């Protein structure tokens, strides 16, 4: 259940940003969660709702965009969005690929007042 | 009615709001700002700090991850007999000093972190433990993570390499079932391979699953009963150390 630690880090980030911007409360938090980031959006939401109390985010809503894994082939430059976790270029079949998206989690934007 | 302060001024909303913007340093209207920051930004910062600390002392940091009972501590004990390099261990467990005590009994410097209920180590926990390790006297520092194939995968603890163990008695399909963890591996160690004759375990199929998921990971088969397999692991570490 590391979602709890991640939510704690998220709340700290949001409070810092809200304070820097002179906001009194955060209304909406937009996240991009990679499907291979190791975090379950459902658990993240429930952890967020538990821990947001008595913070600037108490009334905030969490908007989570689930990001599939996207790889780029180092041989032919083709980009592939993975439906199953086979890190192989769909065009040329090479496994010399780099991951462009889908393995990290990002705070994208904050709506506040 | 003014939406900001709830006063009853009507008809001149625009002018009224304009007035507020100058008077009040706080935000009047909701605003959206772009951030684009990793949720683990703080941990990643700490992790980079740990790596710089290792680099300064010319120490290779290796994060060992696996399920509980796959043989991390036993491997670290057995490695002592074959390794040309000296090493210390940062031990992570929910409770007890048992693993650190086992390693100390073999003459390996070990510092125990008790995480309480935390299911993983993070960079800050490792940072604190590193204060108790004399990096000038060692070549390699292992971080033996909490036994768990899920949570530790999300946290960079500030080592250079991730080694993930998977033992034969755990059964097949662990790689397919826990893809995030095995994606993170620089080396996957199949452990307790001396038990292969006693289990329904198709190791070639497991290796193929790993290749599809993580094409660049190295693979070794290990048994603590087979000293040559331990030497191969020690040589892999030697090689990686020379390459830095």
Q: What's the complex ipTM? A: 0.89
Query: Which of B26, B35, B122 is the closest to A24 by Cβ?
Result: B26
How far does B45 lie from chain A, in Å, by closest CA?
13
For the residues A61-85, what does the mean pLDDT come to? 96
Q: Where in chain B is the domain with CATH 3.40.50.300?
A: 41-242
pLDDT at B29: 77
pLDDT of residue B12: 38
- The tens digit of pLDDT for each residue in A10-69 reads 999 999 999 999 999 999 999 999 999 999 999 999 999 999 999 999 999 999 999 999
pTM value surpassing 0.90: no
- Yes or no, beta carbons of A113 and B215 under 8 Å apart: no
3-state secondary structure at position B77: helix
* Cβ neighbours of residue B121 closer than 8 Å, sequence gap 6 or more: B90, B92, B113, B115, B143, B145, B146, B152, B155, B157
Residue numbers in A near B214 (CB within 8 A) = 87
Closest approach of chain B CAs to the CA of A78, in angstroms?
Answer: 17
Contact residues on chain A for B29, CB-CB shorter than 8 A: 113
User: CA of A51 to nearest chain B CA: how many angstroms apart?
Assistant: 16
Question: How far away is chain A from the Cα of B119, in angstroms, using its nearest Cα?
Answer: 7
CATH number for the domain spanning A54: value is 3.30.2320.80
Using alpha carbons, select from B89, B169, B155, B162 the residue that is nearest to residue B99. B89
DSSP B64: E
Q: Which of A27, A39, A106 comes nearest B30 by C-beta?
A: A27
- Number of neighbouring beta carbons within 10 Å of residue B14: 8
A chain contacts of residue B26, beta-carbon cutoff 8 Å: 22-24
Q: Does domain B41-242 have CATH number 3.40.50.300?
A: yes
Name every chain A residue with its beta carbon within 8 A of the beta carbon of B35. 13, 17, 107-110
B106 in Cβ contact with B73 (< 8 Å): no
Does any CB of chain A come closer than 8 Å to the CB of residue B116?
A: no
Q: Measure CA of the first residue to CA of the last residue in chain A; give whole Å.
A: 31
Q: Which domain holds residue A98?
A: 3-112
- Tell which residue, B144, B140, B113, B118, has the closest CA to residue B129: B113
Looking at residue B16, its pLDDT comes to: 40
Backbone angles phi, psi at A66, to 5 degrees: -85, 125
**What is the reported pLDDT for B117?**
82
Q: How many domains does chain A have?
A: 1
The pLDDT, as a whole number, for residue B118 is: 85
Q: Please, what are the averages of pLDDT over each run of 10 residues along chain B (244 residues)?
A: 38 39 57 92 96 97 97 97 97 92 96 90 96 96 96 96 98 96 98 98 98 96 98 98 91
Sign of the alpha-carbon torsion through B188, B128, B118, B111: positive
Q: Is A86 in the B-facing interface, judged by CB distances under 8 Å?
A: yes
């Amino acid at each position: 259940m590391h979602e709890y630690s991640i939510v704690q880090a998220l709340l700290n980030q949001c409070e810092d940003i809200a304070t820097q911007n002179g906001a009194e409360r955060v209304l909406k938090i937009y996240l991009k969660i990679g499907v291979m980031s190791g975090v379950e959006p459902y658990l993240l939401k429930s952890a967020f709702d538990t821990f947001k109390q008595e913070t600037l985010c108490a009334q905030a809503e969490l908007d989570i965009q689930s990001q599939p894994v996207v790889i780029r082939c180092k041989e032919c430059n083709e980009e592939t969005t993975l439906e199953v976790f086979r890190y192989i270029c769909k065009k040329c079949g090479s496994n010399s690929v780099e991951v462009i998206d889908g393995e990290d989690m990002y705070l994208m934007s904050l709506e506040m007042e | 009615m003014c939406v900001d302060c709830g006063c009853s001024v009507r008809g001149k909303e625009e002018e009224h709001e304009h007035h507020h913007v100058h008077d009040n340093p706080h935000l009047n209207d909701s605003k959206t700002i772009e951030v684009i920051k990793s949720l683990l930004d703080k941990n990643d910062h700490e992790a980079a700090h740990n790596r710089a600390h290792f680099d300064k002392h010319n120490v290779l940091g290796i994060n060992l991850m696996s399920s509980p009972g796959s043989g991390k501590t036993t491997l670290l004990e057995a490695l002592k007999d074959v390794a040309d390099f000296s090493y210390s261990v940062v031990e992570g467990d929910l409770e007890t000093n048992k693993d650190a005590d086992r390693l100390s009994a073999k003459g390996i410097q070990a510092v125990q972190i008790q995480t309480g209920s935390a299911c993983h180590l993070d960079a800050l926990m490792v940072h604190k433990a590193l204060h108790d390790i004399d990096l000038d006297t060692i070549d390699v520092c292992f971080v033996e993570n909490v036994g768990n194939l899920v949570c530790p995968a999300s946290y960079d603890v500030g080592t250079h390499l991730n080694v993930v163990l998977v033992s034969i008695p755990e059964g097949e399909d662990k790689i397919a079932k826990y893809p995030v963890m095995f994606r993170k591996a620089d080396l996957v160690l199949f452990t307790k391979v001396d038990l292969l004759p006693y289990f329904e375990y198709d190791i070639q199929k497991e290796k193929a699953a790993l290749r599809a998921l993580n094409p660049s990971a190295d693979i070794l088969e290990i048994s603590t009963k087979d000293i040559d397999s331990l030497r191969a692991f020690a040589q892999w570490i030697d090689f990686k150390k020379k390459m830095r």
